[in-house]
Amino acid sequence: MTYPEQSDFPLLLAEIALKRGHLPEAATNYRKVLTIAPNNIVALNNLAWIEEKLHKPDARALAQRAFSLAPTPQVADTLGWILLGDKQTAQALTLLAMAHRRQPNDLDITYHYAVVLNESGHAQQAVAVLKAVLDGKIAFRDRAAARSLYDQLSSGS
């Protein structure tokens, strides 16, 4: 018999590895969590994100499973971003718009929403979203990418 508490240590190790950018190590520990607690949303979502970054084929299935268990903005963001990478733009737009609506102050979600807006043919709307994000001086993971996309769209390239 396994107990959910048994997943606490590998989850902690995974989170530390993720924060340090050690994606394969984090993935290994998230998989350990999932063998003990198969419906752990944090492990499913973060493993999906890592698998997408590492171009692994199971990223989408993990994200879909996480979303079916907990359709939170963060999980919708992960699934939407993966779907966008899979050229499922309409589905990605639906998920990322929902995530942005529910978490408008999460700048990474907002950046992802702007990207999918642009990919969906709504470049002007994407520029407005990006401008609002970049006008604030708050640091976030995708700030450089957001600035690059904003500059590209603003110059008409």
Question: Helix, strand or coil for residue 136?
Answer: coil
64 and 76 both lie in a single domain: no
| Domain end (from 70, 93, 120) | 70
For 36-86, what is each residue's pLDDT tens digit?
Answer: 999 999 999 999 999 999 999 999 999 999 999 999 999 999 999 999 999
Q: Are residues 3 and 64 in the same domain?
A: yes
pTM of the complete model: 0.90
Whether residues 65 and 89 share a domain: the answer is no
Residue scoring higher pLDDT (139 or 94): 94
Alpha carbons 6 and 114: distance in angstroms, whole number: 39
Q: Tell me, what DSSP letter sits at residue 6?
A: G
pLDDT, residue 157, reads 56
76, 53 Cβ separation under 8 angstroms? no
